[in-house]
Structure 1
């Protein structure tokens, strides 16, 4: 009996050791990936790659990628590891231009995992790939022209007035303190609700509205939420599991409200100059206003097949689910990014009173000329405001990392490095935007670096990329 028990324990021990050995092999098998290719790289830690401090919440991902950017100083590119995934970090502006623009047909995807059946809200322009992305992009681009945005300006003004009333009521007579990011979050929630969904939310009167709660739920940082998304992104084997990036409540909410709004407008012949109306037009007519001019650009599939997106829609059926995903993208990309940028902007204005005074003078002059009712055109002529926002986005880029994936074998120009299909690349903006070679005194808030006045050097191309660049830039 004792012999059998000892044998069983030994077998269990060997099984456990074997499983640990297999796990270690899987987690460490790529650690020589860049070394074997002669690429300068930063030595990873097993499982964590070069993002250990990020996973342990000691620092943020953009800050860590910025540090890795500077650790590779002297090189045009270098190898890093996001968990077990080898990633090429790009540093040279000319190389960045090559990937984003010149040879875009090799790098047209972002490489973000997508399971449409499990995550229907994820099937939007940010994640779609290949011909499906290109077809949808060409159809949605006319919805974001200056003319279309001008038609929505009245809704933005209405939301701004609500915020003004709220601030007048809440600001204490003695100055006091306000949590400005929360105020801006309510404001952008109102704007997105109005311009995107045709809803009059007024989050200032109802701070616990479903829209506001969904925004908090998606963007509120929690460790387990971050860890789940991080593993899904960077551990390939986990991507095959049925892990949803969105809660069931959030999926049901957006799918339900968009379907309800589309049904109401179509059955009651209601129209409104907002994003949802443009999507309804796209669904029913196949286009928004006039289609884009014929394009010679092709998309190359992973198997090397050339697809011409001008001939057909490549199986892109504009279902209510797909349209809902675009509405969700509008919400996701416009809510947190705008409120965060506004928060950082007023922070910099508070600690740089000379910038605040100059901007205030421009605001007062514009309001005086417009008799207190500035138009879209009036705002577009405010050059110093434009410079202040640009400098805010340089120091605090909300899209902190540009991601691309090589879709077919490619040799980097001027090197012998042959990239395999599926190789991931990143451009860390917290490195590029803080590189003193391109942005002197990078930690100083200096809007005039964008004014082009006097002897100030022109910012080199592809060193300031808050919205990306090339065909896959922010729409």
Structure 2
């Protein structure tokens, strides 16, 4: 619902919620796009068109579809920002990894005049770096689920009654040494090592388990990759202090309590 969406928006991004004029303005803009394409029989190959198709199929009303698009836009902004920030922090803290990534991006830039989805697949090390960032700093650190029926916990006499809310820690899964060796260390290579390749479905869930938001999560990963390419094509990153980072426990998604001391230095061509 609209009220539920606004509550969610205020929880994850208070600054944006305070500028609540943005919500109706975006709704009106998207509605105008819908009506213009319908009136002029225009069909595009983009995200908005996929939502227009959902609306035309009759499964959703216009307001739900517009809120769905806006939800993706907001999630992408919020998650991309935090993920890019943590990725730069790890690259600044791990110079060897940063050097390898810069070299891959330099090779990529020489071979490609533009960045497309197909071309991005060439950047296997960048993909591993982003995946490792999302493992260490999952944008959705916890998952809340509600039991649809009574559930007996295996190996115990305990039972979870129907309607019980379960809090599942994504951080706990991602930092479990049974799932990842040396989980506290930033190791992109773990996603490149074929014999030990991570089973994504079981122990890699940086965005939770909400399949309905998968499009938005893909946009987030894409934005982070494009951001890293843009930055490391011209700059290297470092730290102007080595103080330990602490998380702000009052924010969702996870954010550092203090601004990260990242500095940028121009790469000489």
* 1:356 has 2:128 as partner: no
Please list the CA deviations of residues 42-76 of structure 1 after superposition, one character each: whole Å capped at 9, or x if unmatched. Answer: xxxxxxxxxxxxxxxxxxxxxxxxxxxxxxxxxxx
Is 1:256 equivalent to 2:140 in the alignment? no
Shift of 1:220: 4.2
What is the 5 A alignment of 1:104-123?
A: 116=1, 119=3, 121=5
Query: Are residues 1:401 and 2:142 paired?
Result: yes
2:256 maps to what in 1? none
- Whether the 8 Å contact between 1:121 and 1:251 is mirrored in structure 2 is no
Residues 459, 282 of structure 1: CA spacing in aligned structure 2 closer, same or farther, 3 A cutoff? closer
2:170·2:208 contact (CA, 8 Å) conserved in 1?
no
Q: Which of 403, 410, 430 is matched with 2:151 structurally?
A: 410
SS of corresponding position for 1:345: helix
**Separation in structure 1 between the aligned mates of residue 57 and residue 208 of structure 2, nearest angstrom:** 30
1:406 Cα deviation from its structure 2 partner: 0.3
Tell me which residue corresponds to 1:266. Answer: 38
Query: What is the number of equivalent residue pairs in this alignment?
Result: 214
The residue that corresponds to 2:208 in the other structure is 468
Distance 1:262 1:445 in 2: 44
Contact 2:72 2:213 in 1 (8 A): no
SS at match of 2:145: strand
In the other structure, the counterpart of 2:48 is 276
Distance in 1 between residues matched to 2:159 and 2:191, nearest whole Å: 37
| Structure 1 residues 344 and 221: CA distance shift in structure 2, 3 A | same
How is 1:277-316 mapped onto 2 (pairs within 5 angstroms)? 277-286=49-58
CA distance in 1, matches of 2:67, 2:61: 10
For 1:386-465, list aligned pairs within 5 A.
Answer: 386-452=127-193, 457-459=196-198, 462-465=202-205
Q: Cα offset for 1:452?
A: 1.1
Q: Which residue of 2 aligns with 1:326?
A: 68
1:385 aligns with 2:135: no
Show the 5 A alignment for 1:156-167: none
Q: How far 1:442 sits from its partner (Å)? A: 2.4
- Aligned to 1:325, what secondary structure does the other structure show? helix
Unaligned runs of 5+ in 1: 1-115, 128-214, 226-244, 287-316
Aligned residue in 2 for 1:240: none
RMSD over aligned Cα, in angstroms?
3.2
Question: Please, what TM-score do these two structures have when normalized by structure 1?
Answer: 0.40
Q: Residues 258 and 355 (structure 1 numbering): CA distance in 2 closer, same or farther, change over 3 Å?
A: same
* 8 Å Cα contact 2:128-2:191 kept in structure 1: yes
Deviation at 1:250, TM superposition (A): 4.4
SS at match of 1:462: helix
Q: Where does the alignment leave 5 or more consecutive residues of structure 2 unmatched? A: 216-269
Query: Residue 408 of structure 1 contacts residue 421 of structure 1 at CA under 8 Å; is this kept in 2?
Result: yes
Q: Which residue of 1 aligns with 2:240?
A: none
Matched residue SS, 1:444? coil
